[in-house]
Amino acid sequence: MKKEYEPYQNVEEPDLTGTYTARDYISCKTEELMELLRGKIFKMSAAPLWRHQEIVGELYLIFRKVY
């Protein structure tokens, strides 16, 4: 059974199966990166470091020349 939350409640650690409002999302007190889409909370991963992006860019250039 899906757990529903009362609107405007203060949520410490959100239940990922619950339904939330924008107000719930804003009042959430957690350090995790999350986003609210159509009432659902989704955990986000951190953005890659610049060095990772640089290496991926170089690999792209190498493979682009091969194919």
Residue range 8-49, pLDDT digits in tens:
444 456 677 788 888 888 887 777 888 889 988 888 888 889
> Residue 19 has what pLDDT?
87
Name the token pair of 66: 């091969």
Spatial separation of the C-alpha atoms in residues 29 and 20, rounded to whole Å: 14
Q: Rounded to 5 degrees, what are φ and ψ at 36?
A: -110, 120
> Residue 48 has what pLDDT?
84
Q: Using 50, 70 and 90 to split pLDDT, how confident is the model at 3?
A: low
Q: Using 50, 70 and 90 to split pLDDT, how confident is the model at 53?
A: very high
> Residue 61 has what pLDDT?
94
